[in-house]
Structure 1
Amino acid sequence: MSSMSRRHLIIAATGITISPRLVFAQAAASAPSAPFKVDPLTYAASALEPHIDGKTMEIHRDRHHQAYVTNLNNFAKDNPSIADKPIAEVLGNLAAIPDAIRTGVRNNLGAHANHSMFWQIMGPNGGNAHGDVLAAIDRDLGGIEKLQTDFNAAGGRVFGSGWVFVTVSKEGELAIETRPNQDHPMMDGKRALLGNDVWEHAYYLNYQNRRADYLKAWWNTVNWRAIDERYAAAKAGTLVI
């Protein structure tokens, strides 16, 4: 039984509920040949227009993300431990992965974690930051406007492909950080509160080389209710991706 299956059994037995936004996409034990999967969107692919067009969402999720998952499932056929262990444990200890697949697992599992988070933190009518997460943004990042300005600047400085994140500690402290390629903060023992994909496939159909315009427009897609959930989960030590 996978780690996520055991986790759900424990949750069911104790009566604890958990938002589906916080669950990492690993299939149930009934499908051992394909332990990783791309979860369905909770909104239409076109729901983020005009900021992110539906065609970009479809290509990004159904082709790029699915390709990472297909690669992971191929690795897992001969190395089931990458699916049996929690995502943070695998990415946080890549030295334990066999040399022959280490780079592939790093790239594809990091990409799966990044994209699973990405789809979850976006949505139409996402509201505004409030409560504890807004207080943390004000305290650590200088407020919403400064967060957006600094986050966009950091994303613009990423050379080539990568991600820009707001990381969150167990104490609830926030920081803006970037990672190259498909690296994830979990590789450094951290968690991502939110993150934006600055690979060209995330924006090129509409924005071409205008990454700065994409970064600015992307904030209109953020679902702050999901961010609230992630912040509370991070402080409780239950944030999975």
Structure 2
Amino acid sequence: MKHTMPLLPYPMEALAPKMSKETIEFHYGKHLQTYVDNLNRLTAGTPYENAPLEEMIRTAEGGIFNNAAQTWNHTFFFESLTPSQTPVPAELAEALAKDFGTIEKFQEQFTQAATGLFGSGWTWLVKDNQGKLSVASEQNAGNPLRKGLTPLLVIDVWEHAYYIDYRNRRAAYIAAFWELVDWNKVLERLKA
């Protein structure tokens, strides 16, 4: 199966000024495109040639894992954002309050994890098989699917995600991220 670029659910300029069109052009249009192209090249003629991304994330190693996970992670990230944010739905607010105390405490824990992740990687809101929510950080191409967890929300803290708009100010990027989260998408994933 040939992997293709996912469609953005909004125009490239829609997240500005919190995430500029230039950032989306590079992050989505160049970085993600490179992962997709590399994945197709690396899997050609291998047992993974027709495998879904999730299977590669759970079982592959090396370049195939890295490019499959980065393709999946980036797609999930871009699908987590919206230019038209709505309040946190009541059902999601209840779930977050149950496991974190309040939505604010969840955001604080998530922000601390994303800010404190050394080097490049991802910070996730995940659900375990008992339905408990937690925050998990993964370095490089790491993905919680490998640990049997269900991803609900993610922030990309690789420098390419924020350097055009925020330079080395990761904390400012994370603060802006909270104004772009598609809470309805998070709830949809929680209920799936």
User: Does TM, normalized by the shorter one, top 0.5?
Assistant: yes
Give SS of 1:222's match.
coil
Quote the residue 2:71 is aligned against: 112
SS in 1 for 2:135: strand
Aligned-partner Cα distance in 2 for 1:54–1:142: 36
Q: Partners of 2:100 and 2:159 in 1: how far apart?
A: 27
How far apart are the structure 1 equivalents of 2:52 and 2:165? 36
Which 4+ residue blocks in structure 1 deviate beyond 3 angstroms?
none
Q: Is the 8 A contact 1:36 1:83 kept in 2?
A: no
Residues 11-160 of structure 1 aligned to structure 2 (within 5 Å): 32=1, 35-79=2-46, 81-94=47-60, 102-160=61-119
- Count of residues paired in the alignment: 192
| 8 Å CA contact retained: 2:43, 2:64 | no
Aligned-pair distance for 1:158? 0.9
Q: Percent identity?
A: 34
8 A contact 2:89–2:184 mirrored in 1 = no
Shift of 1:41: 0.8
Q: Per-residue displacement from partner, 1:42-82 (whole Å, max 9, x unpaired)?
A: 21111111111110011000100000000000012121x32
Equivalent residue letter for 1:175? S
CA distance in 2, matches of 1:83, 1:226: 30
Alpha carbons 1:136, 1:172 under 8 Å: kept: no
Is 1:226 aligned with 2:185? yes
Question: 1:160/1:108 Cα in 2 relative to 1: closer, same or farther (>3 Å)?
Answer: same
Q: Scaled by the length of structure 1, what TM-score is found?
A: 0.76
* Distance across 2 between alignment mates of 1:173 and 1:133: 12
Give the counterpart letter for 2:77 in structure 1: F
| Residue type of the alignment partner of 1:187 | R
Give 3-state SS (helix, strand or coil) of 1:196's partner.
strand
Greater shift in the superposed pair: 84-93 or 140-149: 84-93
Q: Which has the larger radius of gyration?
A: 1
The counterpart of 2:123, out of the listed 164, 168, 171, is 164
CA RMSD of aligned residues (A): 1.3
Deviation at 1:190, TM superposition (A): 1.4
Tell me the amino acid that sits aligned with residue 158 of structure 2: W
Structure 2 length normalisation: TM-score? 0.94
Query: Aligned AA for 1:165?
Result: W
Shift of 1:124: 1.2
Stretches of structure 2 lacking an aligned partner (at least 5 in a row): none
Could you tell me which runs of 5 or more consecutive residues in structure 1 were left unpaired when the two chains were aligned.
Answer: 1-31, 95-101, 234-241
CA distance in 1, matches of 2:141, 2:68: 8
Does the 8 Å CA contact 1:106/1:183 hold for their aligned counterparts? no
Provide the secondary structure at the position in 2 that maps to 1:74.
helix
